[in-house]
Amino acid sequence: MKAFGTFYGVGVGPGDPELLTLKAINVLKGAQVIAVPRSSDSSSDGLSQALRIAEKAVDLKGKEMMELLFPMTKDRESLKSARKEAAAKVAGALKAGKSVAFITLGDPMLYSTFSYLVPLVREVAPEAPVKVVPGITSYGAAVSAAVVPLAESDEKVIIIPAAYDIDEVKGLLKSFDTVVLMKVNRIFDSLLDALVSMGLDGSAILVSRVGWPEEKIVTDIKSLRGGKLDYFSTVIVKKGI
Ligand SMILES: C[S@@+](CC[C@H](N)C(=O)[O-])C[C@H]1O[C@@H](n2cnc3c(N)ncnc32)[C@H](O)[C@@H]1O
């Protein structure tokens, strides 16, 4: 019987292909199957952003590409069935002895579909080893692009997927020195209201598409009110900047 393939989660960084690690490149070169997550509306052009980054760093010609579709929805049932279907596809390849590299934007252990897939793949292919290749996170690249230190001395940092309760976000803004707000595009105007009401709009920076040709670093965040923001936008609030 063939040995099981390894299931890799590979972080490809937030956009700049030079930010793939050597390990990520080597794993992608060695994997037989590249699993490519696709969501219904995470990108305007419908292409996988992770794939766009990876193929600039590694020649993927001749690799078996496995497209995995994940709906951008909060509906638990449709998410569950899409993830189960994806896990079954991955497990099928692992059982056939092929190693599968699931590419993910930024880091696979930070708000990535990869971490949801791991237990589901383990359920159906428990013998298959699972390995994770960390990637440069989008917030790490964002603070570097803006040259704003994430934390110094005894400062406290929090990462919030800002799409949730704005009152809770306000409470957290009070308690932490640096606040990283991800997935801000849909709630940006109410986040801006909260920042203005707390006198923190001058301490906030919006970084979108860091590492892409379209990269934007905006310090006057009030100028963004009412506009359409890219999904790949992150707001960093750093008290005292
Ligand atoms: C589902 S999370 C993915 C996080 C990713 N795993 C990471 O390690 O950064 C998507 C959010 O990451 C942030 N993001 C991803 N790529 C980005 C980029 N190139 N520039 C700015 N923010 C980005 C945005 O806040 C976006 O809404």
Query: Which CATH number goes with the domain that contains 147?
Result: 3.30.950.10
Which domain-ending residue is among 83, 108, 133?
133
User: Does 15 share its domain with 119?
Assistant: yes
- Token pair 């301490």 in the structure block, residue: 203
The two tokens of residue 64 are 């078996």
Which domain-ending residue is among 76, 100, 133?
133
User: Does 74 share its domain with 110?
Assistant: yes
| Dihedral (Cα; 28, 182, 119, 42), 10-degree rounding | -60
Kindly state whether residue 1 falls inside one of the protein's structural domains.
Answer: no
Which domain-ending residue is among 101, 116, 133?
133
Ligand 1 site: residues with CB under 6 angstroms?
Answer: 14-15, 104-107, 110-112, 137-138, 142, 182-183, 207-212, 231-234
pLDDT of residue 45: 52
The predicted model scores a pTM of 0.94
Domain tally, the chain: 2
User: Does 73 share its domain with 23?
Assistant: yes
Kindly state whether residue 60 falls inside one of the protein's structural domains.
Answer: yes
- What is the whole-number distance in angstroms between the Cα of residue 112 and the centre of ligand 1? 9
What's the first-to-final CA gap in the chain, in angstroms? 60
The minimum-distance atom of ligand 1 relative to the CA of 234 is 25
User: Does 43 share its domain with 145?
Assistant: no
Domain of residue 177: give its range: 138-238
136-159 pLDDT, tens digit per residue, is: 999 999 999 999 999 999 999 999
The minimum-distance atom of ligand 1 relative to the CA of 181 is 25
User: Does 71 share its domain with 171?
Assistant: no
Q: Give CA–CA dist 89/87, Å, rounded.
A: 5
- What is the whole-number distance in angstroms between the Cα of residue 87 and the centre of ligand 1? 23
User: Does 18 share its domain with 80?
Assistant: yes
173-226 pLDDT, tens digit per residue, is: 999 999 999 999 999 999 999 999 999 999 999 999 999 999 999 999 999 999
